[in-house]
């Protein structure tokens, strides 16, 4: 590698990949998503990648790919299958998962909640309930108090804005409630149309969306305080999905970008009350209203703008805290774009670091192909391909390009 073109990263930078419990573990039947699957509203998740039983072998693969960090989530419904009753065996399982990572020199980052709700909690109204922040904080406090000797870094909530907008504005995800006026928007993409068409529409859904977002922010704030009371030394992160909204010079497009940024980027962050040790960034998309340029698209139909992670990072950098990229990746079953996508993305990250963003790590989404929510198993984000019949794992060529970046702590 010529030193002139080599872009070095700070020492101790974390390089890895991410997963989420429901999407990879298999065998989780007591959640709102499992119920929606039984009702035929979303695809069945079933055994998924059977990562619950195969995590050791999967971490061996991550290690062989040069990863020194890994993000995964704990399934709330396993830990608290009935309200207020915590399951010791489930804690022991996640202790084994964390120990397996530590033993391989892979630093764990745990997400306490990644979209799926225990059935008892969703049947009581989920995050629409007034006391949902207290219920969530009690769960978080319990988990961290049990695992703080094997893991020091926790994310509370995965993508509160995506969860609430797909649940209460689009109606594509449980509880399938749709804001009537969204039908008039020209910019909604088509990928969720099957579930959206069965949603219950109302004008009031918009106000419930705002209430849910508020409760999620309260849940984060309270979880932060309660966790710190029992485990003062752990670090707690607020995870922000930043969809970068930009526009051309047209005044209406500027207004659209402003409204989208307000509700999908600023609204949640404004409600956090100093309860952030560092930010986690999930970045997938950049939308420029009025842009007529044609971009290649991923298997999700999303335009490929990997380098615009730069704007997402500079947005978070204004809060003057460290940042870990907790997710960024591409659905690309044939693996034609992924290597270039990762390389351009890493260059965008490097540029943001030069411009002052305190970025400490990057977790590609995802280590394994997995259950892509209402879209089932067809979309392939993995560095590792899964054969869902045999559960065989096969490393994709792009994973080796990423491996070189991880091992050299640099990109060209």
| Residue ranges binding ligand BGC (CB under 6 A) | 20, 23, 158-159, 162, 282, 327, 365, 372
Structure letter (DSSP) for residue 167: I
Residue closer to ligand BGC, measured from CB, 268 or 365? 365
Q: How far is the CB of 20 from ligand BGC (least distance, A)?
A: 5
Comparing C-alpha atoms, which of 325, 211, 214, 321 is closest to residue 274?
321
Name the percent of the chain in helix, strand, coil, to the closest 5.
45, 20, 40
Please tell me the number of Cα atoms within 13 Å of 160 on its side-chain side.
32
Q: Which is nearer to ligand BGC, 162 or 410 (CB)?
A: 162
CA distance 270 to 267: 6
In the complex, the smallest distance separating the C-beta of residue 254 from ligand BGC, rounded to whole angstroms, is 26
Q: Which is nearer to ligand BGC, 113 or 136 (CB)?
A: 113
Tokens 């202790």 -> residue: 95
* Nearer to ligand BGC among residue 279 and residue 365 (C-beta): 365
Closest approach, Cβ 212 to ligand BGC, in A, equals 17
| Nearest CB to ligand BGC, comparing residues 158 and 343 | 158
Task: Kindly state the smallest distance separating residue 399's Cβ from ligand BGC, in Å.
Answer: 18
Pull the structure tokens for residue 185: 């928007």
Q: Are 281 and 360 in contact (CB under 8 A)?
A: no
Q: Which is nearer to ligand BGC, 52 or 365 (CB)?
A: 365
Burial (CB < 10 A; 0-12, 13-18, 19+), residue 211, is middle
* Nearest distance, CB of residue 85 and ligand BGC, angstroms: 27
| Residue 358 near residue 12, CB atoms below 8 Å | no
CB 387 within 8 A of CB 396: no
Task: Note whether 352 and 317 are within 8 A (CB).
Answer: yes
CB of 284 vs ligand BGC, minimal distance in Å: 6
User: Is 199 within 8 Å of 169 (Cβ atoms)?
Assistant: no
* Closer residue to ligand BGC (CB): 146 or 265: 265
What minimum distance in Å lies between the beta carbon of 370 and ligand BGC?
Answer: 7
Q: Is 93 or 241 the residue whose CB approaches ligand BGC more closely?
A: 241
CB 19 within 8 A of CB 370: yes
Please provide the DSSP assignment of 357-377 as one string.
Answer: --EEEEEEE-SB----GGGTT
Report in angstroms how near the CB of residue 23 gets to ligand BGC at its nearest: 6
Smallest gap, in angstroms, from Cβ of residue 12 to ligand BGC?
A: 25
Question: E-assigned strands of 258-298?
Answer: 278-282, 286-289
How many C-beta neighbours within 10 Å does residue 4 have? 6
71 vs 393, beta carbon nearer ligand BGC: 71
């Amino acid at each position: 590698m010529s030193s002139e073109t080599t872009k070095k990263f700070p020492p101790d930078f974390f390089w890895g990949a991410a997963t989420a419990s429901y999407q990879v573990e298999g065998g989780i039947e007591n959640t709102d998503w499992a119920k929606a699957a039984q009702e035929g509203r979303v695809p069945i998740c079933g055994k998924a990648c059977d990562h619950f039983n195969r995590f050791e072998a999967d971490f061996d693969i991550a290690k062989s790919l040069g990863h020194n960090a890994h993000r995964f989530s704990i399934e709330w419904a396993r830990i608290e299958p009935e309200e207020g009753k915590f399951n010791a065996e489930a804690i022991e399982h996640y202790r084994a998962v964390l120990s397996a990572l530590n033993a391989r020199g892979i630093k764990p980052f745990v997400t306490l909640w990644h979209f799926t709700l225990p059935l008892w909690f969703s049947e009581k109204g989920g995050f629409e309930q007034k006391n949902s922040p207290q219920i969530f904080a009690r769960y978080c406090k319990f988990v961290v108090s049990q695992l703080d000797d094997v893991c020091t870094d926790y994310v509370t909530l995965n993508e509160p804005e995506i969860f609430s907008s797909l649940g209460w504005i689009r109606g594509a995800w449980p509880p399938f409630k749709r804001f009537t006026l969204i039908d008039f928007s020209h910019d909604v993409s088509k990928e969720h149309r099957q579930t959206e068409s069965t949603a219950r529409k109302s004008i009031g859904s918009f106000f419930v969306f705002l209430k849910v977002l508020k409760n999620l922010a309260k849940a984060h704030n309270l979880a932060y305080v309660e966790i710190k009371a029992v485990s003062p030394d752990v670090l707690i992160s607020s995870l922000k999905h930043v969809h970068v909204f930009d526009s051309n010079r047209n005044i209406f497009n500027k207004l659209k970008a402003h409204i989208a940024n307000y509700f999908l980027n600023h609204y949640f962050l404004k409600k956090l009350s100093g309860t952030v040790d560092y930010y986690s960034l999930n970045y997938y998309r950049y939308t420029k209203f009025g842009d007529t340029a044609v971009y290649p698209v991923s298997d999700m139909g999303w335009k490929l703008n990997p380098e615009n992670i730069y704007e997402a990072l500079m947005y978070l950098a204004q809060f003057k805290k460290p940042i870990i990229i907790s997710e960024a990746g591409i659905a690309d079953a044939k693996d034609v774009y992924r290597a270039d996508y990762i390389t351009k993305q890493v260059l965008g990250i490097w540029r943001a670091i030069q411009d002052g963003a305190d970025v400490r790590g990057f977790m590609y989404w995802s280590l394994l192909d997995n259950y892509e929510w209402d879209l089932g198993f067809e979309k392939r984000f993995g560095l590792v391909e899964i054969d869902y019949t045999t559960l065989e794992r096969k490393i994709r060529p792009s994973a080796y390009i990423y491996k070189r970046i991880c091992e050299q702590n640099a990109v060209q």
